[in-house]
């Protein structure tokens, strides 16, 4: 009965022959950049965000997109939180959840009542949030999407910059997947939309891809936040790079203990990354050689999202990245001293009890020794 009532309160936008309506619940860098690129390709896009000045700028001037793919301006429908009820007359077919991980549930509940009959939500976030979304929408209305090395940030209200070079055919940026692992029409639909932004494919291993992205994020997000280093600053210097490898190796061990099948982390086979974190000289050389190739797509000013959060005095997603690895390690009975140390440091920095700087690298390097030194 409850399902029948819920369905009666939802209209389908496609019944009237209208084009697919895509919403981004969270108008941060990811939501605005991806949404702006889709809008530029002719997709109907709505961006929803609580930052009033940002939404007002988009309403007035559109979205200004700049960086490694050139400068452009996109026109999207922008809504303040209090304006979302306008969607009643134009329901959403595909809702990308693009808020911070800790805001996932309220964002899902916000858009739930404005989905079309066949509408569904896509987690385009850091961390692993599909279960939180499915708790409110059901797995039949939940899809996952990993974005790897897109490298975007908000420069100001209505202005988004991309710092990473496009992945193109050489590296797949977006991987779209179902929880059950089958290839579906809607997964293909989302991947096709995302190809307006960069390379995209459907994956049959959403959870392995999710953990691989989590490993990569755990290597540099917190590290950049506590040291002030950029992506290039971390990976072009021996000491921070090897701390990153130590973090990655710990995350690999936890993922394997949980049963994830992880193919590679940004091109580094997990066997190599784990061995490198244990000071295997051959594996360390191989991992560092692959990491050297990463820097070709980076820019000098590019930073991960956790570093931007610290710089702007905002709450970070550390609990959903390194914190999730620490929590999972406890369940698996695995020691992860580097992951624990980075979580502690980031929490102290975001609460302004510790200043970011290279002095924090010393504490992390001590924990990482002797494995990767």
The model's pLDDT over 243-281, given as tens digits with 9 standing for 90+, comes to: 999 999 999 999 999 999 998 999 999 999 999 999 999
The model's pLDDT over 177-199, given as tens digits with 9 standing for 90+, comes to: 999 999 999 999 999 999 999 99
What is the pLDDT confidence band of residue 370, given thresholds at 50, 70 and 90? low
pLDDT at residue 104, rounded to an integer: 98
What is the pLDDT confidence band of residue 338, given thresholds at 50, 70 and 90? very high
Q: Is the pLDDT of residue 99 over 70?
A: yes
The model's pLDDT over 273-325, given as tens digits with 9 standing for 90+, comes to: 999 999 999 999 999 999 999 999 999 889 999 999 999 999 999 999 999 99
Q: State if pTM tops 0.75.
A: yes
Q: Which two tokens stand for residue 304?
A: 């991960």
Q: Exposed, middle or buried: residue 34 (CB in 10 Å: 0-12, 13-18, 19+)?
A: buried
Which domains are seen in the chain, by residue range?
2-204 (3.40.50.720), 210-368 (1.10.1040.10)
What is the pLDDT confidence band of residue 30, given thresholds at 50, 70 and 90? very high
Nearest partner of 56 among 147, 128, 136, 158, judged by Cα = 158
Q: What is the mean pLDDT of residues 148-175?
A: 96
> Rounded to 10 degrees, what is the CA torsion of 182, 186, 187, 193?
170
Exposure string over 47-77, b if 16+ CB within 10 A, otherwise e: bbbeeeebbebbbeebbbbebbeeeeebebb
Nearest partner of 79 among 114, 101, 57, 55, judged by Cα = 55
Q: Is the pLDDT of residue 372 over 60?
A: no
Q: Which two tokens stand for residue 33?
A: 């950049």
Q: What is the mean pLDDT of the chain?
A: 93
Residues linked to residue 143 through DSSP beta bridges, in sequence order: 122
**Strands, DSSP E only, in 140-199?**
142-147, 152-156, 159-162, 174-177
pLDDT at residue 369, rounded to an integer: 66
Nearest partner of 44 among 15, 10, 78, judged by Cα = 78
């Amino acid at each position: 009965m409850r399902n029948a009532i819920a369905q009666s309160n939802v209209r389908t936008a496609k019944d009237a022959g209208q084009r697919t309506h895509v919403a981004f619940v969270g108008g941060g860098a990811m939501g605005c950049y991806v949404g702006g690129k889709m809008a530029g390709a002719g997709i109907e896009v709505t961006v929803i965000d609580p930052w009033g000045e940002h939404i007002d700028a988009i309403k007035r001037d559109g979205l200004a997109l700049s960086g490694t793919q050139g400068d452009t301006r996109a026109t999207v429908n922008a809504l303040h939180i209090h304006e979302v009820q306008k969607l009643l007359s134009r329901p959403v077919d595909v809702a990308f959840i693009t808020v911070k991980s800790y805001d996932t549930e309220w964002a899902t509940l916000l858009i739930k009542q404005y989905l079309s009959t066949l509408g569904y939500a896509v987690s385009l976030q850091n961390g692993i949030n599909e279960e939180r979304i499915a708790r409110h929408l059901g797995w039949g209305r939940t899809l996952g999407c990993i974005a790897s090395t897109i490298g975007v940030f908000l420069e100001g209200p209505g202005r988004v910059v991309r710092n990473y070079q496009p992945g193109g055919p050489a590296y797949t940026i977006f991987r779209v997947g179902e929880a059950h692992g089958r290839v579906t029409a809607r997964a293909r639909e989302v991947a096709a939309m995302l190809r307006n932004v960069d390379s995209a494919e459907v994956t049959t291993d959403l959870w392995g891809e999710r953990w691989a992205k989590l490993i990569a994020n755990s290597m540099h997000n917190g590290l950049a936040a506590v040291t002030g280093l950029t992506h290039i600053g971390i990976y072009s210097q021996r000491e921070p790079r090897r701390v990153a490898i130590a973090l990655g190796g710990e995350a690999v061990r936890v993922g394997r203990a949980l049963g994830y099948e992880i193919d590679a982390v940004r091109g580094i086979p997990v066997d190599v990354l784990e061995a490198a974190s244990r000071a295997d000289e051959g594996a360390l050389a191989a991992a560092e050689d692959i990491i050297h190739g990463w820097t070709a797509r980076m820019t000098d000013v590019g930073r991960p999202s956790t570093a931007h959060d610290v710089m702007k005095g905002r709450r970070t997603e550390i609990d959903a990245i390194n914190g999730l690895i620490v929590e999972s390690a406890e369940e698996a009975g695995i020691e992860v001293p580097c992951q624990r140390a980075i979580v502690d440091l980031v929490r102290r920095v975001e609460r302004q009890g510790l200043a970011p700087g290279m002095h924090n690298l010393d504490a992390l390097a001590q924990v990482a020794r002797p494995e990767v030194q």
